Amino acid sequence: MMKNKVIIVGGGMVGAAAAVKLAQQGCAVTVLEQRVIDADAVLSSEKVDLRISAINRFSENLLDKLGAMSLLRENRLAPYQQLEAFEQNGDNLLFDCQDINTSHLGHLIENNLIQASLWQQFAKYNIQVIAQATTLTEIVQTALDITLVYGDTLYSADLVIAADGGQSQLRTKAGIGVTGWQYAQHCMGVLIKLDAPQQVKTWQQFKATGPVAFLPMQAPYGNLICYHQANTLKEWQALSNEQLKDKIVAHFPELPGDFEIVKHAVFPLARQHANQYSHGRLVLVGDAAHTINPLAGQGVNLGFQDVAVLAKQLAGQTDIGKAQQLHEYEQARRKANLLMMSMMDACYFGFSNQITPLKWARSQFLKLANKTGPAKQWVLKYAISGQLD
């Protein structure tokens, strides 16, 4: 029996996970990626990445099955045991791993380490990587296959997976529209070196100007997140590290120790949802299908869930590019993705609003949520697993 041929465009965290998962299921996989990485060099480097993800337990289990988590455990990762959300001069909601009898709620891991740990599996499964930095010019589909045209270069397969991010070339070329909006605020990420022992609690404070958060990385590093108006963050971006530190000290709750700024960057915020997840033998995963407010770091977790569900739908199929299978994948994922997107927006808009009746309602909600054991446990299990049941 001939292997199903799969082309994955985009070798980031989600695309790389899809590559390994489908190769494990017997597919012949090729990854097209603009920036081919040296996985050994990334994993051995002492350079710390500013971009990190809060990997939940579902994603941890998937990475274990893909062979990546063992490498990450040997590298820089920080399990967190507590998650707290609180208002400025207000009530708080604390989740603790002991509430559900588990050792941790998740891990905070640098994005480039997750990607590299997955790329390390490529040789084991004969996954081919091709550097393709030119613009996609055409997608040609027949009843039996799909071909990507990059100028004079053609790539054909039974299935193409678009994992090429929020500005997906493949989604655009396939004529798949999106709905969504740009948020008024931007987000600043700040990598700090913290004079404190290893921290096990990640927290978010909701302020009138937007939320701020602390994400403990492996000591001595940490990551600060600040939402604010775009003009304000543009001004902060131009400051020296010493001047920016003064702004952070004035704007954030007290941190667990003194710190120095290593690097920082500002990102625009957008919510975006593809009108459909597939077109013929092309299917979208991760940010190509949905981008989410990064308030709770759920973006990559949703992408990993896309990979798991898609792989389950395709397992054992003689032709993995059939429309019915891809439609069933979309049915399984669209509702869950939309629910998480809506929940994040409800938190973002609801907790950043200072209207008096809404402030009172938030206060009552936080008090009730902290006292209501079953409801609190359900929310916590959903937060760390991404599963509704």
Burial class (CB in 10 A: 0-12, 13-18, 19+), 162: buried
What sign does the dihedral 348-349-353-356 (CA atoms) show? Answer: negative
Per-residue model confidence (pLDDT) at position 85: 83
Per-residue model confidence (pLDDT) at position 55: 94
Per-residue model confidence (pLDDT) at position 295: 65
pTM of the prediction? 0.91
Per-residue model confidence (pLDDT) at position 361: 53
From the candidate CATH numbers 2.60.120.260, 3.90.1720.10, 3.50.50.60, 3.30.465.10, the one assigned to the domain spanning 5-78+107-180+271-348? 3.50.50.60
Contact 163, 277 (CB under 8 A): no
Which structure tokens are listed for 153? 């270069």
Residue 221 β-bridge partners? 193
Per-residue model confidence (pLDDT) at position 273: 94
Per-residue model confidence (pLDDT) at position 145: 97
Per-residue model confidence (pLDDT) at position 99: 82
Please list, in sequence order, all residues whose beta carbon lies within 8 angstroms of the beta carbon of residue 13, skipping any fewer than 6 positions away.
53, 111, 114, 115, 118, 286, 300, 303, 304
Every domain of the chain and the residues it spans: 5-78+107-180+271-348
Whether the link from the prior residue into 220 is cis, omega within 30° of 0, is yes
Spell out, as residue ranges, where the chain has pLDDT lower than 50: 355-358, 360
